[in-house]
Amino acid sequence: MKQIFYIVSLSFLFLFSTSVRAEIKLPAIFGSHMVLQQKTDAAIWGKATENKTVRVTTSWNKKSYTAKSDADGNWKLKVSTPDAGGPYSITISDGKTLTLENVMIGEVWVCSGQSNMQMTMAGYRNQPVVGSNEAIATSANKSIRLFTVERNKSLETIDDFSGEWLECLPENVADFSAAGYFFGRMINEALDVPVGLICSSWGGTRIEPWMSENGFGKFDWVNLPDKSSKEDFSPQTPTVLYNAMISPMVGYAIRGALWYQGESNRNEPKEYEKLMPGLAENWRAEWNIGDFPFYYVQIAPYQYVNGSNSAFLREAQLKASSAIPNFGMACTMDVGEKHNIHPAAKEEVGERLAYLALAKTYGRKGFEYSGPVLKEMTVDGSIVKLTFDHAKNGLTTFGKELENFMVAGENKRFHKATAFITRDGITLFSPSVQKPVAVRYAFEDFVVGELFNTEGLPASSFRTDDWEME
């Protein structure tokens, strides 16, 4: 009797283990309700029984694609995606079948950074998002899908992270990135296509943790971690957030990336000016799909307590915006709050990112996507004249005085300038500076920018000198 029970038990265990091995397993980024990038060859990968043919069938074209799993059960293939549409299904089988339902085809964007990207539609405690209650209540939309990567860190790249695709419903939108949601909502409305948003962010983090080890070749001042270390490590450690929160989705077909970060790097503006485009180049190299669009948000004015001047970091972000192709910056000079590092005006942030994408990525015309950018300074005696790009219809303050211009002579002492808008730009002067050589606008930690183009987009703080940080 014991022998019979033993044989039956072994048979059951064999069948059970075979069943487990045969189960198709996908990374979290693939699931029901997901959005695949339209009109491309989209990679799908996962685990299956080792050395077995995996068949993937897509409902939009009734085609099947096959790949053979390796000795560890890993497999990968690409499926052709059509024009935007859905819902569709994807069936994956190696003998056992897994079906992904309610799959949309559209535009996919990664949203990343620190706390201002992480800030949800519900806001932080005592730190709201303006207009969020109405936006959440009316957010139900079958064409927008949301994925939030759970926070994690690793000294080595890992294969998967935690998270799931969710439909755009009020209860899901409330817990999703506000900047990301408002961006996606405008893209969806403007293009009338499904939009997939993947938010991978961690409050308070620097830029270095979000780059892969391969991205630091020309940044020799960054100390990379010892991978063999058994000690606990900070989320500020270079590479550890890329390894755990970006690497698992590298290869997933995307249109582009959005970035909102910089506050934690504010004391190293010279380095950040190089790291900012370096991050974009690093991600592009890892994804290996060309120079995909990468748009980012300039940090908003805020009164930091340690006496640093974050205007130098804003300047670094402004300079970086023209450093590499398919790069662009959304300015937030008008929405900063003196004692709140998380501005409540997230709708403006998302929409300004969307202007960049609509104009530069999708080729839409008839609107402006950037605030005024200084073009030229000329000096005539004690009078300074400034001209601007992205101001074809002129400049405005919407009724406010121009109070944030400063001018200096060769002694490098800045004095408040009287400034006014002209047909061609701005004219300014100061009785205290007879021979001006430099001008600064809103070049302080906290200031409410008052200079806009007539389309309502603000000018960044700027300076015409290159004097060292004071």
SS3 of 332-363: the string is CCCCCECCECCCCCHHHHHHHHHHHHHHHHCC
Q: What is the pLDDT of residues 358-378, one digit of tens each?
A: 999 999 999 999 999 999 999
Instruction: Please say whether the beta carbons of 336 and 448 come within 8 A.
Output: yes
Q: How much of the chain, in percent, has pLDDT values that exceed 70?
A: 95
Average pLDDT over residues 96-100: 96
Q: 330: helix, coil or strand? A: strand
Average pLDDT over residues 252-259: 99
Instruction: Please say whether the beta carbons of 367 and 417 come within 8 A.
Output: no
The yes-or-no verdict on residue 14 having pLDDT over 50 is: no
For residue 229, the model assigns a pLDDT of 84
For residue 309, the model assigns a pLDDT of 87
DSSP 54-123: EEEEETTTTEEEEEE--TTSEEEEEEE--SSEEEEEEEEESSSEEEEEEEEEEEEEEEEESHHHH-BTT-
Instruction: Please say whether the beta carbons of 424 and 376 come within 8 A.
Output: no
For residue 230, the model assigns a pLDDT of 79
The yes-or-no verdict on residue 31 having pLDDT over 90 is: yes
Which CATH number is associated with domain 9-104? Answer: 2.60.40.10
The yes-or-no verdict on residue 1 having pLDDT over 70 is: no
For residue 4, the model assigns a pLDDT of 42
Which CATH number is associated with domain 105-361? Answer: 3.40.50.1110
pTM > 0.85: yes
For residue 364, the model assigns a pLDDT of 98
Please, what is the Cα angle at 290 between 286 and 293, to 5 degrees? 95
Average pLDDT over residues 68-79: 98
Residue positions counted in the chain:
470
Question: What is the Rg, in whole angstroms, of the alpha carbon atoms belonging to the chain?
Answer: 26
What residues contact residue 347 under an 8 Å CB cut-off, 6+ apart? 129, 130, 131, 135, 178, 182
For residue 411, the model assigns a pLDDT of 97
What single-letter amino acid sits at 163? G
Q: What is the pLDDT of residues 418-459, one digit of tens each?
A: 999 999 999 999 999 999 999 999 999 999 999 999 999 999
The yes-or-no verdict on residue 268 having pLDDT over 80 is: yes
What is the pLDDT of the chain when averaged over all its residues? Answer: 95
Q: What is the pLDDT of residues 294-353, one digit of tens each?
A: 999 999 999 998 767 899 999 999 999 999 999 999 999 999 999 999 999 999 999 999
For residue 23, the model assigns a pLDDT of 84
Q: What is the pLDDT of residues 133-188, one digit of tens each?
A: 999 999 999 999 999 999 999 999 999 999 999 999 999 999 999 999 999 999 99
The yes-or-no verdict on residue 98 having pLDDT over 50 is: yes
Which of these, 181, 210, 215, 182, lies nearest to 198 by C-alpha position? 181
Which of these, 370, 335, 320, 333, lies nearest to 444 by C-alpha position? 333
Query: How does DSSP classify residue 194?
Result: -
Average pLDDT over residues 225-251: 95
Q: How much of the chain, in percent, has pLDDT values that exceed 90?
A: 92
Burial 296-318 (b: 16+ CB within 10 A, else e): bbbbbbbeeeeeebbbbbbbbbb
